[in-house]
Amino acid sequence: MAASGEVQDLRLVNLVKSFGDFTAVDDLTLTIPGGSFFALLGPSGCGKTTTLRMVAGLEAPTSGNILLGDTDITNEKPYKRYVNTVFQSYALFPHLDIFENVAFGLRRRGIKDVSGPVNEMLDLVQLGPMARRKPAQLSGGQQQRVAVARALINEPGVLLLDEPLGALDLKLRRQMQIELKRIQTEVGTTFVHVTHDQEEAMTMADTVAVMNKGRIEQMGAPVDIYDLPKTAFVANFLGQSNSVAGTVQGRSGDDLIVGAPGGSYNVPAARSTRQEGAILLGVRPEKLSIATAGSSAAVPDRHNRATGKVTDASFTGVSTQYLVMTTWGDEWTVFEQNRSVDLLQPGDEVVIHWAPEYTFGLDVPSGE
Amino acid sequence: MPALAPVAGGTKVPSGAGVQRRARTAYLLLIPGIAWLGLFFVVPLVSLFFTSLQAPTGTPGVYQPGFEVANYVTAISDYWPQFIRSFIYSGIATVLALVIAYPLAYFIAFRAGKWRALLLVLVVAPFFASFLLRTYAWRTILADEGFITTTLNALHLLPDNRILNTPIAVIAGLTYNFLPFMILPLYAALERIDPRLIEAAGDLYSSPFTGFRKVVWPLSLPGVVAGTLLTFIPASGDYINATLLGSPQDRMVGNAIQTNFLQFRDYPVASALSFIMMAIILTLVFVYIRRAGTEDLV
Ligand SMILES: Nc1ncnc2c1ncn2[C@@H]1O[C@H](COP(=O)(O)OP(=O)(O)OP(=O)(O)O)[C@@H](O)[C@H]1O
Ligand SMILES: [Mg+2]
């Protein structure tokens, strides 16, 4: 269709956007490989929408460049860009019916026979029977699917999706996630998907970038970021983490020895952003094992361990989530698979332990 | 209605009696409005209708009840040029007002930022001076020795070498006087359009002009319809502009009604003129609204 041939990389170079003296996007540099499913993940107000708007051409960057392939599109008019957007607020045309909304981009490009592709697209988003309704006559989730269809039908080089599934119920959301992923694989378009749902980002994307306060904190494959977060923000934003602050006291082989309130811990030097001085140790809740204080002898010697008291146990079927108050007064979370029926009770003295290679070492965030 | 159990959260579904009481309150609140309309709209209208059918008694200015359809015949045969002029002048004034008002309303709605409130006040500012006074002021502005006329004459742009006492002056006066009635509804309609729709159109390969044509213009149509009606209807019935700015050859229906009422004291013909005018405008408005299809919009 509008395809200019092969799928091209999208590159943002030193991109800055300021509103007055507030910097919404702060020196962003990243490359989104052509044909990839890229998720931009971050808390509300961190600059995700602003970034997308600059790529779409709806907002002029304060400085920096946007490149599609080797072409600098920083100053290209939005209607000439080979980019389409699914708006966070849908922005459907209220005076046009669903069919005409979806056909809008095709018609503007002078395509005469639109009914085939439009109906196909409407079937894809399961809105075929609603083609002649006005947007106001649809539910929020249906409107959202129209917004997706309206952008996708143009088969752009880059599709920008600003929380396109936010209004859908869980079932439909899963369905649309699979659908979007399938379409993306099929058409090979680069998808830049903004979301603050970390699970959505991890299940759908090839690459996830975690954004905070206008900057990319970390970027990589979901598995890698989850396994080895590089900042305390990422460790807590993407999944849950337990952490304890300490000081590097020495080395033992490939491990750093860290002294912390609960005792001494090992962390592989390769998994730590710091090799000396103050350090924040972290470990994911599902990597922890929990045992009664009495059976601590059974804990493997090489394991890191912390002791504490169970404050809460919530049974969720597959697993049990324990909250444990550590001896130094932090609350840790432990996910334990329900392999036995003997659950620990609040008040039980326990020992938490884990293999050192699950640990990660981070810079101590300022202000902590 | 059977008794309903309170729904969750403790809120009660209003009982049948409650609903009825609320409906009655609504009707009670309508009474002042209906009374006002009945007294000051329906009663004069009916009285005007009977006047339009009154027969002469022989004494000038005194009439008796009757069924003189001839009044209507006189009204049309004697004053058809005034009717035609009324609709041509007010039609042109309406189009001019739309052309002038649309960009202005667009600017105020989308671009004015913090100046928006001030600009809206400026739009209605002329209302602080009397209509008559403002129209008199136009006599000075368009006067033969005035700056505008002399400048245009120097450029040989005026067929009659003057503006005052020509149809141009009448149309200019009508356009000026009814412009706020065009701007305000247009502004109200444009202001309701989500600017993100314009962005979406741009994102979907519309140049700014196409985006305007396909999104902004259709969404602003209710304002266009309201504005053109609010301009056209009073402009077509106006007589001040024709009196003060036009020559005796530029008189409109309003002038004919006025002279018949006040000078000739021919109340039946004046009333017949009013009724014919009303009938024509109602027909035009009806056709116009049907064509514009406003009920399909938004
Ligand atoms: N036009 C503007 N003028 C001033 N500040 C703005 C403007 N647009 C955005 N901002 C600010 O820039 C920051 C980033 O906004 P942005 O819309 O990109 O957030 P976001 O990451 O998309 O958040 P969310 O997840 O809530 O949609 C916010 O603090 C916002 O208040
Ligand atoms: Mg956003």
* DSSP calls for A296-343: GGGS-TTSEEEEEEEEEEEE-SSEEEEEEEETTS-EEEEEEE--SS--
Indicate whether A202 and A56 sit together in one domain: yes
Nearest to A188 by CA among A161, A163, A156: A156
Last residue of a domain, one of A208, A232, A256: A232
In ligand 1, which atom is closest to the CA atom of A52? Answer: 18
Helical (H) or strand (E) element with A150: helix A140-152
Residue whose CA lies nearest to ligand 1 atom number 10: A24
User: What is this structure's pTM?
Assistant: 0.81
- pLDDT at res. A3: 45
Secondary structure of residue A22 in the 3-state scheme: strand
Instruction: List the single best residue of B194, B196, B203 to mutate versus A (max A Cβ within 10 A).
Output: B203
> What would the mean pLDDT of A176-193 be, rounded to a whole number?
86
Q: Is A319 exposed, middle or buried (0-12, 13-18, 19+ CB in 10 A)?
A: middle
| A226, A246: one domain | no
Q: Which residues does chain A have within 8 Å of residue B200's beta carbon, measured at their own beta carbons? A: 85, 87, 91-93
Instruction: Tokens for B18, please give them.
Output: 């409650």
- Three-state secondary structure call for residue B248: helix
Q: Is A250 within the bounds of a domain? A: yes
Whole-Å CA distances, B46 to A68, A263, B39, B115: 73, 99, 11, 47
Kindly report the nearest CA distance between residue A58 and chain B, in angstroms. Answer: 7
User: Based on the domain organization, do A74 and A134 belong to the same domain?
Assistant: yes
Residue A291, token pair as written in the block? 């045992």
Q: Per the CB < 8 Å rule, is A104 touching B214?
A: yes
B91 has pLDDT over 60 = yes
Residue A111's alpha-carbon distances to A95, A103, A117, A118, B170, in angstroms, are 21, 9, 11, 12, 48
pLDDT at A2 > cutoff 80: no
For residue B49 the two structure tokens come to 């209708």
Question: B252: closest CA among B72, B87, B75, B71?
Answer: B87
Report CA(A23)–ligand 1 centroid distance (Å): 10
A81/A154 Cα distance (integer angstroms): 12
DSSP B251: -
Give the gap in angstroms from C-alpha B214 to the nearest C-alpha of chain A: 9
Q: Are A83 and A158 in contact (CB under 8 A)?
A: yes
Residues 6+ apart with CB under 8 A from A115: none
- Tell me if A263 sits within 8 A of A352, measured CB to CB: no
Amino acid A187: pLDDT? 79
Q: How far apart are CA A83 and CA B74, in angstroms?
A: 69
Q: Report which of B27, B233, B213 is spatially closest to residue A104, judged by C-alpha positions.
A: B213
User: What token pair was written down for B217?
Assistant: 């213009």
Mean pLDDT of A179-202: 87
Sequence letter at residue A283 = V
pLDDT of residue B17: 67
Q: Domain holding A96: CATH number?
A: 3.40.50.300
Pocket residue to mutate for ligand 1, from A15, A46, A162, A197, most atoms within 8 A of Cβ: A46
Statement to judge: residues A268 and A225 lie in one domain: no
- Interchain contact B298–A (C-beta under 8 A): yes
Q: What is the maximum alpha-carbon separation in chain B? A: 86
Mean pLDDT score of chain A: 90
| pLDDT for residue B53 is more than 60 | yes
Q: Is residue A74 situated within a structural domain?
A: yes
- Beta partners for A31? A11
pLDDT tens digits, B152-206: 989 988 888 899 999 999 999 999 999 999 999 999 999 999 999 999 999 999 9
Q: A214 C-alpha to center of ligand 1: Å? A: 10
Query: Does A274 contact B at CB distance below 8 Å?
Result: no
Strand partners, A352: A290, A306
User: Which among A213, A232, A251 is the end of a domain?
Assistant: A232
User: A109 at the B interface (CB within 8 A)?
Assistant: yes
Least confident of A235-244, A252-261, A294-303, B98-107: A294-303
CATH of B2-9+74-292, one of 3.40.50.150, 1.10.260.40, 1.20.120.790, 1.10.3720.10: 1.10.3720.10
DSSP 8-class letter at B102: H
Ligand 1 nearest-atom number relative to CA A53: 18
Residues of A in contact with B201 (CB under 8 A): 93, 104
Select from A209, A232, A255 the last residue of a domain.
A232
pLDDT of residue B293: 64
Question: Is there an atom of ligand 1 within 6 Å of A89 CB?
Answer: no
| pLDDT > 90? residue B43 | yes
Q: Whose CA is nearest to atom 14 of ligand 1?
A: A47
Q: How confident is the model at residue B15 (pLDDT cuts 50, 70, 90)?
A: low
Q: Which residue is closest in CA terms to ligand 1's atom 16?
A: A47
Please name the helix (run of DSSP H) or strand (run of DSSP E) that holds residue B74, with its range, or none: helix B70-106
Check whether residue A41 and residue A185 sit in a common domain.
yes
Residue with tokens 């399961």: A126
pLDDT at B248: 92
- Residue B224 contacts A where some CB pair is shorter than 8 Å: no
Domain annotation covers residue A367: no
Task: Name which of A230, A228, A211, A166 is nearest A38 in CA terms.
Answer: A211
pLDDT of residue B13: 52
User: Which position has the token pair 């009670």?
Assistant: B28
Write the pLDDT tens digit of every residue in A134-155: 999 998 888 988 998 999 899 8
My answer on whether A184 and A286 are in the same domain is no
> What is the three-class DSSP state of B161?
coil
Task: ipTM value, please give it.
Answer: 0.80
pLDDT at site B11:
47
Tens of pLDDT, residue by residue over A15-24, are: 999 999 999 9
pLDDT at residue B266 above 60?
A: yes
In Å, how far are B109, B119, B125 from B122, measured between CA atoms? Answer: 14, 5, 5
* B237 vs A183, residue with greater confidence: B237
Residue B46 has pLDDT above 90, yes or no: yes
Give dist(CA A270, CA A264) in Å, integer.
Answer: 18
DSSP-derived secondary structure for A116-147: HHHHHHHHHTT-GGGTTS-GGGS-HHHHHHHH
Per-residue model confidence (pLDDT) at position A353: 93
Helices and strands in chain A, H and E counts: 8, 20
Give the per-residue pLDDT at B3.
43
Indicate the SS3 state at residue B111: helix
Lowest-confidence segment of A59-73, A341-355, B211-225 by average pLDDT: A341-355
Q: What is the pLDDT at residue A182?
A: 84
pLDDT of residue B16: 63
Across the interface, do B297 and A77 touch by the CB < 8 Å criterion?
no
CA-based radius of gyration for chain A:
25
**d(C-alpha A125, C-alpha A203), whole Å:** 20
A252-297: pLDDT as tens digits: 889 999 999 888 999 999 999 989 899 999 999 999 999 888 887 8
* Percent of chain A clearing pLDDT 90 (strictly above): 64
The residue whose C-alpha atom lies closest to atom 24 belonging to ligand 1 is: A44
| Cα separation values, A336 from A281, A286, A311, A341, Å | 21, 7, 15, 12
User: Any CB–CB contact under 8 A between A108 and chain B?
Assistant: yes
Distance A48 CA to ligand 1 centre (A): 8
The answer to whether the beta carbons of residues A226 and A247 sit under 8 Å apart is no
Residue B1 binned pLDDT confidence (cut-offs 50, 70, 90): very low
Quick one: tokens of B214?
């396909």
**Count of the separate structural domains present in chain A:** 2
Same domain, A216 and A252: no
Q: First vs last Cα of chain A: how many Å apart?
A: 53
Query: Is B118 in the A-facing interface, judged by CB distances under 8 Å?
Result: no
Residue A3 maps to a domain: no
Q: How much is the pLDDT for B273? A: 95
The pLDDT value given to residue A6? 64
The three-state secondary structure class of B159 is coil
> What residues make up the domain containing A306?
240-362
Pocket test for ligand 1, best of A12, A26, A48 (most atoms within 8 A of CB): A48
Say if ligand 1 is within 6 A of residue A140 CB: no
Name the percent of chain B lying above pLDDT 70. 92
Return the pLDDT at B14: 54
Q: What pLDDT is attached to residue B8? A: 44
Q: Taking CB atoms and an 8 Å limit, are A105 and B202 in contact across chains? A: no
Q: Are residues A75 and A220 in the same domain?
A: yes
